[in-house]
Structure 1
Amino acid sequence: MSSRRVVAVLALAALVLTSGCIGFLTGEETLTFESEPATADATVAGNAGYETNGTETFAVNRTLSFGGQERQIAASNHITTYEKTLDLGFFGEAKLGSFSVISTPAVEVAGQPRSPIGDYSNDDLIRLVDNRYQGLSDVDQVSSRNVQMLGQTANVTKYSATARFGGDEVDVYVHVTKVQHNEDFVVAIGLYPQQLDGEEENVLELIRSVEHPSEA
């Protein structure tokens, strides 16, 4: 057996000992990871005019290779969303802002990081907003600043973009940041129309107020 093969086998053995998952070693079971939910402080959100839509769980499955063998892992992630709306009477309600907190496991298998989020820059993370808002166009970085989140210095990048809400296009600002906290990566994303004066500070306060883990 080659030295590389020996290392792979030892890595798998160490993984089994720490996870207790014999089925993962044999390929009969999927190794599972789950993040702790993250939220914004309810008082801060309420004072800024945001209401939560609750916390959802979504799964991501990946195939990993060890010593020429393929094994399956599944990561359960959480996303908590908040929205700010204004009642326009006869014209109905208009969405004025959105704030999302995403937690995903900082997966390590055999001592190696296996979560793509860990390598994502803020430019990569804004693609998550792409998926949620039916696409962003004309995305440009406006500024960058440091804000405290979960006791750490988080780099918050501000972008200008055009977002599609239903059939309408709206010029928006998007704020994106990420930190690793405990066993998870926590991502915060704030989006609001550019015409909404003063909303940037509300988003930054929401970022500062993020709690993890939370009682979601």
Structure 2
Amino acid sequence: MDRRASADKTPAAESLTRRRALAIGGATGIAAVAGCTALDVATGEPAEFAAGTATVSDEALADTGYELNEVTSETVSREFEVAGSTREVRVTNRVAEYDRAVEIFGERYQAAVFAALATPRVEVLGQAFNPIDDLDDEERAELILNRYDDVDDLERSSEYTTSMLDGDVDVAVYTASGEIAGTGLDVDIELHVGAPVEAGDDFVLPLAAYPEGFGDGESVRRMINGIEHSVE
């Protein structure tokens, strides 16, 4: 994989966590718990929820051309009123991002990306909240589009079910148009957007985006099948 060439071609590309997934997932989780009153009112201590890490096994990555780009985490904090006092909830999400270079007109771009987002279950008074459950499929699709600019015509084209984390996951496939970030190069895009799957005290969401003409669907499915979850 030619990372240097792609870095030259996509200077505007930022990490998935910084731009979209972590902030959205964390903010949604806070909103879900904001109406509850089971925090420690006596001490005023923040309620903290941290995700483990979802990654793709080396075996599943073999022959896909994808490599690990980075594993990042971010803590999102929100304050709200409870029992007449201000209380804080902190949610820490983690994302493992993988990518590979694609060649277009003799140039290589790091435009194929796969990510596994882990977000913690927020549990208050015995009730569990899925921090990304309120996002519909189109909003989830937006989480993986950090490598593309001016995305338009997002349309659901198909769906499939495959194995993930000792169970099944429903995956929606979308098509869209856009340009590879920072290049002005227009491409058709295919996206795979999985539903959140429970993994211990977390929810794991698989996501992928790549130029449609490269037909990476089988590689994406293989990586979804190979997702592993660790609490460390």
TM class by smaller structure: 0.7 to 0.9
The alpha-carbon deviation at position 214 of structure 1 amounts to 7.1
The one-letter code matched in structure 2 to 1:127 is: E
| Alignment-derived partner of residue 166 in structure 2 | 151
> Are positions 1:52 and 2:62 aligned together?
no
The one-letter code matched in structure 1 to 2:189 is: V
Return the structure number with greater helix share: 1
Instruction: For 1:119-130, list aligned pairs within 5 A.
Output: 119-130=134-145
The alpha-carbon deviation at position 114 of structure 1 amounts to 4.4
TM-score (norm 2): 0.73
* Deviating 4+ runs (over 6 angstroms): none
TM-score (norm 1): 0.78
The one-letter code matched in structure 2 to 1:47 is: D
Structure (1 or 2) with the larger CA radius of gyration: 1
Instruction: For 1:160-171, list aligned pairs within 5 A.
Output: 160-165=175-180, 166=182, 167-171=184-188
The alpha-carbon deviation at position 66 of structure 1 amounts to 3.3
Corresponding pairs, count: 194
| Alignment-derived partner of residue 5 in structure 1 | none
CA deviation string 1:25-50 (max 9, x = no partner): 443x3222111011011222131110
| Whole-angstrom CA distance in 2 between matches of 1:69 and 1:148 | 45
> Are positions 1:39 and 2:17 aligned together?
no
On the 8 A contact 1:35/1:77 being kept in 2, the answer is yes
| Alignment-derived partner of residue 33 in structure 2 | none
Distance 1:136 1:26, change over 3 A: farther
Give the root-mean-square deviation of aligned CA atoms.
Answer: 2.6
Q: Percent identity?
A: 30
The one-letter code matched in structure 2 to 1:213 is: S
| Alignment-derived partner of residue 210 in structure 2 | 192
Instruction: For 1:34-113, list aligned pairs within 5 A.
Output: 34-86=50-102, 91-113=106-128
| Alignment-derived partner of residue 182 in structure 1 | 200
| Alignment-derived partner of residue 211 in structure 1 | 228
| Alignment-derived partner of residue 3 in structure 1 | none
The alpha-carbon deviation at position 135 of structure 1 amounts to 5.0
Distance 1:80 1:72, change over 3 A: same
